[in-house]
Amino acid sequence: MGYSVTEKILRKNALNFEDFKVGKNIKIRVDQTLTQDATGTMAYLQFQALSCRRVKTKLSVAYVDHNTLQAGFMNADDHRYIKTVAKKHGIYFSKPGNGICHQVHLERFAVPCDVLIGSDSHTPTAGGIGMLSFGAGGFDVACAMAGIPYEIACPKIVKINLIGKLNPCVFAKDIILTILKKLTVKGGVGKIFEYGGEGVKSLSVPERATITNMGAELGATTSIFPSDETTREFLKAQGREEDWVALFADEDAVYDETIDLNLEEITPMVACPHSPDNVKAVDEVKGLKINQVCIGSCTNSSLTDMMQVAHILRGNKVHPDVDLVISPGSRQVLTMLTRSGHLSDMIDAGARILECACGPCIGMGQSPKSGGVSLRTFNRNFLGRSGTKDAKIYLVSPQVAAYSAIKGELLAPPKDVFDFSLFKMPEQFIVNDNMISPPASEEDFDKVIVEKGPNIKDFPIGEPLNENISVKVAIKVSDDITTDHIMPAGAKILPYRSNIPYLSQFCFEVVDSNFPKRAKEFKSCCIVAGLNYGQGSSREHAALVPLYLGVKFVLAKSFARIHKANLINAGILPITFLNEEDYEKIDLEDELEIKNCKQLIKKNEPIFVFNKTKNLKIGVEYALDERQIEIILAGGLLNYIKNSREVC
């Protein structure tokens, strides 16, 4: 029996490949890590708490791309901390302005057939180059830097068989939006999507990366493409052909499921408010009046995307009722647009050029007007994420975005007017890594002083599990709650990512702004939730802040993968209903109790929740493996590691 692409990498990197079966856990040796600043400060505080001198990976990179607005000392202090901590511990540092972590990593560091984990949910972008890459909480990344294998429940491997070729004026974004429409934001849970079939050949590495990037929106464990001649050409053009290895699935590889996707049948698509799976054909929504267009983000800011945008804008004028902002994904992209003259086409048309960073994607500026309609080339359009709660965000390809910007309404570019095939990947990218600082040598470890500003506070640490847990329900939420709902981002709050007490005031702000007050009053509380709780970003603040506010457990119909891991790492027990209908039997402020919790969990025996207010017994499950049980008993990952001396 042959192997899939995923299995080939795992045969090399898994410590227990023989256990690669659904229902088991697999321990993966990590080759590379990446962090970004909004999760990075916390990840490095955790790494330092593990008392490790140097990272044990082949390569670790710390990027600054999220919190680049310096309206006060907070972000600048975080940047300084990340820079100095990286230098000391053996980590490369990518300065603010050098670009979005996933775009830069793809250009400069990602290696086919190796394993990457990153403290950002879109780390699977590197799957476009054939790297097995996972988004994870910062603490898991800290552990990987310390040499601890990354452990996950074995996912199913689903082949997406790409048939044929895209029609003119249809793009990679339309492929992934079509998949999201079919499978929804829950469709990828517990799965790795492996792309194959003849259609792969027609897609460039950045196009593949657009698709693997938004696999995160499917809830997938990760997504990956093979590494072929196209991959080799991309690496060669980046001056690193030596990093290329061929990586294909064997003819007789066996998949848990295969989905055929005929690229010829795909048309321009749009994800409507407020979820990336609320997808329609552009034709169904065309004519929608728009106020703002934002082009960029780790999904769609490659050089080719940007050149095609410039081609649409060239000689045209941004519609008087529309604001167009463009953020190229990296300094490499920006430099090349400058030299080729494409940047002038954008500026001449009336676009505002932003720095190479996440920017509006994470609400770092450019919030739309009240009730505004914004077309964005990003990957998420969750309620409130743009910074304007009643704004309506639509997700489209860069080409639809640019054409709509000149028309003032949502429209796909007509194929008889534009020939996008003129814009191919260059044979040679301009390479300039002078905004990436290498770490200090091992001998200089003691000479490097880590600078820690006053906004950087200690992170909360859980307590060993109590025998009996008695709590009040501090919030009850519905299905598909994202980590943006739990712990919002945006320009006002993001600078406080390293200050949990301050951040706690905003927990669940868009859903129920009284939650923090109520939780504090109850002292010991829990969260009741629907399906897919914690989908979206990897921010472990969505677990650390509830921990700080006294949350002891989350009782949900189901959990998203990264968030569940973050809850466990924080020492918060994630439990699910045995019968989903029991969700109706609990109300806000009910008193719940779990008796003999510690004893039962230690023996991996069933527990139940007693609703004291309603005098009802509720059957629940906790799907935890042995290590996770130990972590919960210890009160979180840090306590567990300190007890078990698993590291350094």
Q: Is 564 in the site for ligand MIC (CB under 6 A)?
A: no
32 vs 39 by CB, closer to ligand MIC? 39
Point out which span in 184-192, 234-242, 358-366, 619-627 binds ligand SF4 (CB under 6 A): 358-366
Helix (H, G, I), strand (E, B) or coil at 516: helix
Query: Using CB distances below 5 to 8 A depending on partner kind, what does residue 100 bind out of ligand SF4, ligand MIC, none?
Result: ligand SF4
- Number of residues lying near ligand MIC (CB under 6 A): 14
356 vs 620 by CB, closer to ligand SF4? 356
- Burial class of residue 75 in the structure, from the number of CB atoms within 10 Å of its CB (0-12 exposed, 13-18 middle, 19+ buried): buried
Point out which span in 116-124, 229-237, 332-340, 459-467 binds ligand MIC (CB under 6 A): 116-124
- Burial class of residue 647 in the structure, from the number of CB atoms within 10 Å of its CB (0-12 exposed, 13-18 middle, 19+ buried): middle
Among positions 358, 375, 528, 607, the unique one binding ligand SF4 when judged by CB under 6 A: 358
Q: Is 122 in the site for ligand SF4 (CB under 6 A)?
A: yes
Query: Using CB distances below 5 to 8 A depending on partner kind, what does residue 538 bind out of ligand SF4, ligand MIC, none?
Result: ligand MIC
Dist. CA 81–CA 452, nearest whole Å = 5
Q: Is 539 in the site for ligand MIC (CB under 6 A)?
A: yes
The torsion of the CA quartet 67, 73, 79, 80, rounded to 10 degrees, works out to: 180
**71-100 positions binding ligand SF4, by CB under 6 A:** 100
Among positions 136, 312, 361, 641, the unique one binding ligand SF4 when judged by CB under 6 A: 361
What's the CA angle centered on 263, arms 206 and 183, to 5 degrees? 85
101 vs 143 by CB, closer to ligand MIC? 101
Q: Is 297 in the site for ligand SF4 (CB under 6 A)?
A: yes
Q: Is 122 in the site for ligand MIC (CB under 6 A)?
A: yes
555 vs 572 by CB, closer to ligand MIC? 572
Dist. CA 333–CA 346, nearest whole Å = 14
Strand order of the β-sheet with 32-35 is 132-135, 115-118, 32-35, 59-63, 92-94, 436-437
Query: Using CB distances below 5 to 8 A depending on partner kind, what does residue 329 bind out of ligand MIC, ligand SF4, none?
Result: none
Q: Is 538 in the site for ligand SF4 (CB under 6 A)?
A: no
Dist. CA 550–CA 552, nearest whole Å = 6
Q: Is 576 in the site for ligand SF4 (CB under 6 A)?
A: no
Q: Is 39 in the site for ligand MIC (CB under 6 A)?
A: yes
Dist. CA 406–CA 402, nearest whole Å = 7
Q: Is 498 in the site for ligand MIC (CB under 6 A)?
A: no
Q: Is 305 in the site for ligand SF4 (CB under 6 A)?
A: no
30 vs 295 by CB, closer to ligand SF4? 295
Dist. CA 136–CA 539, nearest whole Å = 8
| DSSP state string for 15-49 | TTGGG-STTSEEEE--SEEEE-HHHHHHHHHHHHH
502 contacts 459 by C-beta, under 8 angstroms: no
Dist. CA 370–CA 388, nearest whole Å = 7
Dist. CA 513–CA 515, nearest whole Å = 5
Among positions 6, 119, 304, 379, the unique one binding ligand SF4 when judged by CB under 6 A: 379
Among positions 489, 531, 573, 586, the unique one binding ligand MIC when judged by CB under 6 A: 489
Backbone angles phi, psi at 368, to 5 degrees: -70, 170
CB of 345 to ligand SF4, least distance (A): 23
CB of 124 to ligand MIC, least distance (A): 11
Point out which span in 164-172, 238-246, 519-527, 532-540 binds ligand MIC (CB under 6 A): 532-540
Dist. CA 564–CA 354, nearest whole Å = 35
Dist. CA 114–CA 363, nearest whole Å = 33
Q: Is 393 in the site for ligand SF4 (CB under 6 A)?
A: no
Helix (H, G, I), strand (E, B) or coil at 550: coil
Among positions 308, 498, 538, 569, the unique one binding ligand MIC when judged by CB under 6 A: 538
Q: Is 159 in the site for ligand MIC (CB under 6 A)?
A: no
In terms of DSSP bridges, do strands 616-621 and 573-577 run parallel, antiparallel, or are they unpaired? Answer: antiparallel
Dist. CA 457–CA 497, nearest whole Å = 10
CB of 542 to ligand SF4, least distance (A): 14
Q: Is 298 in the site for ligand SF4 (CB under 6 A)?
A: yes
Query: Using CB distances below 5 to 8 A depending on partner kind, what does residue 221 bind out of ligand MIC, ligand SF4, none?
Result: none
259 contacts 246 by C-beta, under 8 angstroms: no
Task: List interacting residues with ligand SF4 (CB under 6 A).
Answer: 66, 100, 120, 122, 297-298, 358, 361-362, 378-379
Task: List interacting residues with ligand MIC (CB under 6 A).
Answer: 38-39, 66, 120-122, 135, 362, 380, 489, 536-539
